[in-house]
Amino acid sequence: MGILLGISTRRRDGMRNVRIGVVALALAVTTAGCTGWTSGKDEPGAVTPPPPAAADPIRDRVRAMPLEDKIGQMVFAGVDGTEASAEVRRLIADDRVGGLILYKDNIESVEQTVRLLNGLKEANREAGAGRPPLLLGVDQEGGKVSRLPPQLEPFPSSRDVAKSGDASRARAIGEALGEELSALGFNVDFAPVLDVDSNPRNPVIGSRSFGSSASVVASYGVEEMLGLRSKSVVPVVKHFPGHGDTSVDSHLELPVVNKTADELRKLELVPFAEAIRSKADAVMIAHILLPKVDPDRPASMSPEIVAGLLRGDMGFDGVVMTDDMTMGAILKHHDLGAAAVQSAKAGCDIVLVAHEYANARLVLDALKEAARSGELPAESIDRSVYRILSLKERYGLRDGEVGPVDVAKINAAIRRATAKP
């Protein structure tokens, strides 16, 4: 300050030059500081380095995984037979699949189902330390879609649950479903169905839906979802963006729904939006064509529907899974490997290949080739695997064996949950 006062008696031009010099010096110092460069870490004025990024063990794990492990996590395969055969063990150990689904023909009794699931988990443990635990799933909806053995009490259809007029009953049924499934060793249920039953000619949904009212489907479906989740069983809500207004079975052929995105938001998307608000963890995408949204690709292969509508517009950042890629809706119109790659490019994290090991390996090979060629970007793969591993960690999944099942206890819980008021 004294220097400036001394200068104040000089010419005005000189004062201007000094001020400019001071400002220039200040800017030079500031700019140098902004580069983060210093000549010595202990010098006065050295820039403090930014704090390290928050630790994220899952992110670090994904980065360390080889490509084969990452792609394996993105495939959910079916099982042939009723035992943990050498072939399915190879699918786990060598092909590194991250999930397996059982169907009715894989299940004979409670005891056999426990042995099978324990065998699958054993194969994953023996494949090497550090393998992520398996997702082990089944379609256990109640009503006509019930896969578990007859030793266990049946569950009513979703339609019958909604007829009670009490949404808390759906919560109780979700809890009983979760207790039943976890006792046998499952950790994923492909339920609840959030399709609105709006088309009387629909050959595949019907009583699987909670009803023809979007608000009823939303309230009952979300309650069942929360009940399953409370028992550490992952609920996979389905079939986005809505399979209710179809007149074709997608197991056999490709259904077409001629609705705009705005029309979907008024009905079909209502239950899914409510599920997402309630922090749904996983969504299954249907094999249906919506030509007014994407005229070229079914929903399961459409970036407009998966990345645009579900993730972008509706804000869903959980795990997205395709319906079974070996269904007629896909195989009659597309090459299986190319379809799987397109589903992953569209934003799906997991491709479901429910029948035949050869089909699962074909899809694995197609995804790996797409990754190596750059068609499927590494960043996209890492995002999907991050979501999958986060889901497994969030639910505390492990590959530990389950012991003998107390069938009487489970049946008592089912009877309590399904008892009519």
pLDDT in tens, the chain (421 residues): 343 333 333 333 443 343 334 333 343 333 333 333 233 333 333 445 666 668 899 999 999 999 999 999 999 999 999 999 999 999 999 999 999 999 999 999 999 999 999 999 999 999 988 899 999 999 999 999 999 999 999 999 999 999 999 999 999 999 999 999 999 999 999 999 999 999 988 888 999 999 999 999 999 999 999 999 999 999 999 999 999 888 777 888 788 999 999 999 999 999 999 999 999 999 999 999 999 999 999 999 999 999 999 999 999 999 999 999 999 999 999 999 999 999 999 999 999 999 999 999 999 999 999 999 999 999 999 999 999 999 999 999 999 999 999 999 999 999 999 997 7
CB 271 within 8 A of CB 217: yes
Task: Copy the structure tokens of residue 334.
Answer: 């597309």
Alpha helical stretches, state H, 249-348: 261-266, 269-277, 328-331, 336-346
Class of domain 59-413: alpha beta
Q: How far is CA 176 from its chain centroid?
A: 23
The whole-angstrom separation of Cα 287 and Cα 324 is 9
**pTM, to two decimals:** 0.86
From the list 251, 313, 333, 355, the catalytic residue is 251
From the list 69, 197, 323, 399, the catalytic residue is 323
- Whether 195 sits among the annotated catalytic residues: the reply is no
- Whether 251 sits among the annotated catalytic residues: the reply is yes
What pLDDT does residue 278 have?
A: 98
367: left (phi over 0), alpha (psi -120 to 50) or beta: alpha
For 270-281, letters b (16+ CB in 10 Å) and e give bbbbbbbeeebb
The whole-angstrom separation of Cα 238 and Cα 334 is 22
**What residue ranges do the domains of the chain occupy?**
1-50, 59-413
